[in-house]
Chains A and B, each alone.
Chain A
């Protein structure tokens, strides 16, 4: 496979846009990305749209075609993909794969979702159904439940504290306040996080990501032609996708998907966790980020609590994580989340991250977990980017 580069990125502020159509949200991010790439729509040969289940909350199929038609991007192959909460990453990886294998020289990947026009119960049902084999959701489980269960086991096994878990939210909201595209831009103190409304003990409201509306887009090209479009292309050093094993073996304090995907990604890039200058990881809940530190090798198993407490996952620390503010600040815009993580990392690698810039960042890791079945994420994507 040949080397692929990211030549354009486009974001927008995530938020509540009930008065805008999903098409309008997609258009904004795609126009930004194509402009950033210095391209015209005719330069793009293929496109993937990431969208979870918009028809469930009110709008139709063919999201990719409807959005891109408005920009004059027609005739080329356009497909929609879905992979739970990692839907955007799946769109990115499919576009990468097509360029890497030579099926095309340029491609666009974007993700879009409008989550605030629906309710939590509807979303839970879309994920777990009432027909699901294990029916965990039907018996009282939920996304906060799954992560609260992981938090309690981590606390019991490794002595991780409520305070350490809550510090993830404090850190991410601090960076969200520096990101003009974040939904929540007010920082929170540790006391505020600990004393906030309890959602699923030990997780309080600021430790659970909000929903949101928005879109994000990236443009890829074969590395050999990247400088035709952009003077500072970012190279994709690894792209890995795995699915869950759903094993009941072992302690419920790690994601088997993370560990397998990370191993494969480091091997593909010829790098190790120590080479990663910064990362965007799937912090749908505070404790998830803490567990990802361990699974991705940023610290040893069981030391995630200390890692965040010592500031090792903050800017200036060993491996800054979620300088965008993460899902905890941006909100989880399911189809767009994975692409939005990549947009942040490309900006960091270009030195365009403003007040949240990680100085001298050369290598970045993106991690996005998708969906949950029983004790494991259904899918996991990891991308390693280099400049």
Chain B
């Protein structure tokens, strides 16, 4: 849906496709110059930022927009340990909503947080990492974003 027609001059879609690793959704990510970031769509008329990008601005119905990088750091709004879920993700796993400074809440797997019930706190700082989300039926690694607590000494 958002292919080359959405690209500004000089930009190209990021592809990390290989034989057995693929991005969960290519349009969600872009390298803005310092590695893969989540790519939101910013309305050129009202400045609103949406992720995933919408076909028109939900505020003002304006189709003109540009891709902007979303912050890699956010706050852990809430979390839970799931003992069930879709196939392909080994259980149990930690899920959460992360609030980005852009005002966007993202559902995300939370990683590198063991023991989860000691490490995780509502409101703590978390940062995005690109990791394998799950394996699909053909055994491909589906790669996407997750969040982890910001490591010590790296505020």
Contacts and interface: CB of A to CB of B under 8 A. Distances in A.
A140 B89 contact: yes
Given A149-B78, A149-B96, A156-B78, A121 B122 contact: no
Contacts of A248: 99, 103-105
A152 B81 CA distance: 10
Interface stretch (A108-116, A198-206, A298-306): A198-206
A121 B144 CA distance: 21
B84 interface: yes
A141 B105 CA distance: 14
B63 interface: no
Given A140-B133, A142-B84, A153 B77 contact: yes
B145 to A, nearest CB: 9
A152 B86 contact: no
Contacts of A151: 80
Interface residues of A, number: 35
Given A149-B95, A156-B122, A200 B107 contact: no
B19 to A, nearest CB: 21
B83 A200 contact: yes
B52 interface: yes
Given A134-B107, A135-B25, 12 more contacts: A134-B52, A139-B109, A140-B85, A140-B86, A145-B95, A152-B78, A153-B97, A153-B122, A200-B84, A201-B117, A252-B77, A252-B78
A156 B82 contact: no
A151 B104 CA distance: 20
Give the interface size class of chain B.
20 to 34
A74 interface: no
Contacts of B80: 145, 148-149, 151-152, 200-202
Contact of A149 (B89, B97, B99): B97
A201 B81 contact: yes
Contacts of A157: 122
A243 to B, nearest CB: 14
| Residue of A153, A198, A374, A375 ringed by the most chain B CB atoms within 10 A | A153
8 contacts: A121-B86, A135-B24, A151-B80, A152-B122, A200-B82, A201-B80, A202-B80, A251-B77
B87 interface: yes
A145 B82 contact: yes
A232 interface: no
Given A138-B24, A140-B109, A156-B122, A199 B83 contact: yes
Interface in B131-145: 133-134, 144
A138 B143 CA distance: 12
Contact of B79 (A142, A149, A199): A149
B123 interface: yes
Nearest to B99: A248
Nearest to B102: A248
A269 interface: no
A249 interface: yes
A136 interface: yes
A73 to B, nearest CB: 41
A118 interface: no
A157 B122 CA distance: 9
Nearest to A138: B86
Interface in A118-135: 120-121, 124, 133-135
Contacts of B117: 201
Contact of A200 (B81, B89, B104): B81
Nearest to B80: A148
B79 A140 contact: no
B85 A142 contact: yes
A233 B99 CA distance: 49
Nearest to B122: A156
A140 B123 contact: no
Nearest to B117: A201
A137 interface: yes
B108 interface: yes
Interface string B66-101: 000000000001111111111101000101110100
B119 to A, nearest CB: 14
